[in-house]
Amino acid sequence: MLPLVTKRNNVHFLVMELSIKEIKEQEKERKRNYILDAAEKLFFSRGYDSVSMDDIANEVELSKAALYLYFKDKESLFFTIVLRGIKLLNAMIEESIKSCKTGVEILDTIARVYFEFVNKYPNHNRAYLYFRSDRFDIEDSEDMNEVAKEILKLRQDTFVITCNAIKSGIDEGLIRRDVDPVEVTVFLTLILKNLTEMRSDFIKLLEKRGIDKYQFFTDVAEFVHRMLMNTERGDAK
């Protein structure tokens, strides 16, 4: 006699099948993150070009063939690590600007958070700067790595937030009306980038004058304020 197959049994089997599938997906994600953690340490300590897929495979005790089941090549693996850092930065910015009431407050907060990120996660910042160097061809949109596209989109999101903050500052009468929001956003982006890549001889020169990197950042922020603020407004600071 054949076993009775009921609707309830079918549901039970479906739940079991889904559970097994979920367990497999969770295990795959756990393994993927384990690989990323190991590769991150290697890239951060040796540099991208000094690490091979063989090195990573040995570090995680996988065959090279098994490693390629998770990442198609070293570039994709590295880009995923860069993406980790950018997601972290964006999350820090989004959380910090929630309490901002004006465009100027948003600008100040973005700059402060970026500076905090660079000092707390210097390796992630260096990885991103290397990603944006001429080492990788990320400008060809047709052949661009999908992870690279996501990185650039997240950075563009921050650019748009900054640009909109400047527009708000202008509308609020706090920022000069004769400035172009896009131009100012590019300008601020370049300033922040160069602050994080300051030459060691400049750092030593400033330190001899009693100016550490935090003080220098504060002073630069004040210089930028004076350039952008609407001085015709009585309560502008």
CATH code for the domain of 133 = 1.10.357.10
Distances (CA, A) of 140 to 87, 126, 149: 23, 22, 10
Per the domain annotation, does 97 fall within a domain?
yes
Per the domain annotation, does 228 fall within a domain?
yes
How many CB atoms lie under 10 A from the CB of residue 101? 8
Q: What is the pLDDT of residue 71?
A: 93
Per the domain annotation, does 21 fall within a domain?
yes
Identify the domain containing residue 38 by its residue range. Answer: 8-71
Distances (CA, A) of 130 to 38, 44, 155, 204: 19, 11, 15, 24
How many angstroms separate the CA atoms of 164 and 179, rounded?
13
φ and ψ at residue 66, rounded to 5 degrees: -65, -35
Domain end position, chosen among 18, 53, 71: 71
Per the domain annotation, does 3 fall within a domain?
no
- pLDDT-flagged residues of the chain (< 50): 1-2, 4-6, 234-237
| Total structural domains within the chain | 2
Q: What is the pLDDT of residue 2?
A: 45
Judgement on whether residues 78 and 67 belong to the same structural domain of the protein: no
Judgement on whether residues 42 and 103 belong to the same structural domain of the protein: no
Within the chain, how many helices (H) and strands (E) appear? 10, 0
Residue with tokens 């190991």: 38
Judgement on whether residues 66 and 171 belong to the same structural domain of the protein: no
**Rounded to the nearest 10 degrees, how much is the dihedral formed by the CA atoms of 182, 188, 190, 191?**
160
Per the domain annotation, does 1 fall within a domain?
no
The per-residue b/e assignment along 156-180, b for 16 or more CB within 10 angstroms, e otherwise, is: eebeebbbebbbbbbeeebbbeebe
Show contacts of 118-121: CB within 8 Å, 24+ apart: 118/196, 119/213, 121/85, 121/88, 121/89
Judgement on whether residues 66 and 182 belong to the same structural domain of the protein: no
Judgement on whether residues 218 and 167 belong to the same structural domain of the protein: yes
Domain end position, chosen among 71, 88, 116: 71
Structure-token pair, residue 153: 């989109």
| Radius of gyration, CA atoms only, the chain | 24
Structure-token pair, residue 29: 């994600």
Judgement on whether residues 46 and 90 belong to the same structural domain of the protein: no
Which H helix or E strand runs over 40?
Answer: helix 7-46
Per the domain annotation, does 2 fall within a domain?
no
Judgement on whether residues 138 and 233 belong to the same structural domain of the protein: yes
Angle in degrees, 0-180, between the axes of helices 200-208 and 213-228, rounded to the nearest 10 = 90
Per the domain annotation, does 185 fall within a domain?
yes
Judgement on whether residues 67 and 118 belong to the same structural domain of the protein: no
Q: What is the pLDDT of residue 235?
A: 47
Structure-token pair, residue 82: 């860069």
Per the domain annotation, does 188 fall within a domain?
yes
How many angstroms separate the CA atoms of 158 and 94, rounded?
9
Q: Cα 153 to the chain's mean position, in Å? A: 10
Judgement on whether residues 95 and 181 belong to the same structural domain of the protein: yes
Judgement on whether residues 169 and 186 belong to the same structural domain of the protein: yes
| Contact present, 110 and 162 (Cβ < 8 Å) | yes
Judgement on whether residues 112 and 63 belong to the same structural domain of the protein: no
Q: What is the pLDDT of residue 135?
A: 85
Judgement on whether residues 123 and 231 belong to the same structural domain of the protein: yes
Domain end position, chosen among 71, 101, 124: 71
Assign residue 18 the CATH number of its domain: 1.10.10.60
